[in-house]
Amino acid sequence: MSDNSNKALTVLGLGDMGSALARSWVAAGYTVTVWNRSARQAPDAVSIAATAAEAVAANTLVVVCLLDDASVRVTLDGIDLTGRDVVNLTTSTPAEARSLSDWITARGGSFLDGGIMAVPSMIGAADSGAYVFYSGSAQMHKTHADVLAVPAGLTYVGTDAGFAALYDIALLSAMWGMFAGATHAFALTVGENISPVEFAPLMVAYQQAMAGYAYGTAAQLASGDYTEGVESNLAMMSTTNATLRRTAAEQGVSTALLEPFMTLMERRVAEGGGNESTTGVVELLRR
């Protein structure tokens, strides 16, 4: 019993993100069949399947949003995927996504992987800026573009099924660095008579002003000249590291979050990269 109409789809997983996705499609007038491993409050107006196999059989388009790659494997294992278009919105590694693609296509399905760049409250919300990196089947991306555009914007990054995960995790990694810096900055100031609420906008504005630094790094990586257009060279920045360490010591704050990056900067200087910006550190990480 398969409903191939464009206005119907299946969602596997009713966690915070799966529920937000299902709700957005219901709100847009889609007929949504859902399945979740354990009993959970389902969004209104969805059809609840008793098993994952029943949910997969209900529609051609099957969106999977579970905890991790292992939960996707265990859920889809043994289910007939012939003719199914599987969109995996579960966060995974590039290699896991490629392997999952092979596993699903070998069983007669098609595969599109996605990396969600949003939190649940942004899903289906107009102008929230939510988008999803997609990679894998170009045909599926084309065929299902309208459906997939309901919860969030689409950014298709190619036929390599691992690329959506790679872009996703690369951006998450960049975000971690930003969170780490903000965490250290709060640790430095919070014990003083400085309001964190008043400090936050200063920090956000400075982080936003500095974010464009990545364009310079990109240009240098592209040209191979890491001294091109350098305003703040690594030798000077390494000297600043010493001031960062002394300030942390004065404030009784650990430099644990900063040490890995500062140590790499100093290593690059020791290897002769003092006239560069931080671009050479990219090379150190890939050694």
Residue number, nearest CB to ligand NDP: 15
Which x/- pattern, by CB under 6 A, does the window 210-249 give for ligand NDP?
----------------------------------------
Stretch that binds ligand NDP, among 24-32, 116-124, 154-162, 204-212 (CB under 6 A): 116-124
Residue closer to ligand NDP (CB basis): 75 or 137: 75
- Distance in Å, CB of 6 to ligand NDP, minimum: 24
Identify the DSSP state of 159. Answer: S
- Quick one: CA dihedral 67, 36, 83, 79, positive or negative? positive
**Cβ atoms 8, 32 nearer than 8 A:** yes
Residue closer to ligand NDP (CB basis): 89 or 257: 89
Q: Among 67, 187, 235, 282, which residue sits at the site for ligand NDP (rule: CB under 6 A)?
A: 67
Distances (CA, A) of 5 to 53, 138, 142, 147, 224: 19, 20, 16, 11, 51
- d(C-alpha 116, C-alpha 164), whole Å: 9
Work out whether 59 is an interface residue with ligand NDP (CB under 6 A). no
Residue closer to ligand NDP (CB basis): 53 or 282: 53
Which x/- pattern, by CB under 6 A, does the window 2-41 give for ligand NDP?
-----------xxxxxx-----------------xxx-x-
- Distance in Å, CB of 119 to ligand NDP, minimum: 4
- d(C-alpha 148, C-alpha 154), whole Å: 7
Secondary structure of residue 27 in the 3-state scheme = helix
Work out whether 53 is an interface residue with ligand NDP (CB under 6 A). no
Distances (CA, A) of 43 to 14, 48, 71, 148: 9, 10, 21, 18
Which of 58, 18, 62, 25 lies closest to 42 in space, CA to CA?
18
- Distance in Å, CB of 103 to ligand NDP, minimum: 16
Strands 110-117 and 131-136: antiparallel
Q: Which residues are at the interface with ligand NDP (CB under 6 A)? A: 13-18, 36-38, 40, 65-68, 71, 74-75, 90-91, 116, 119-120
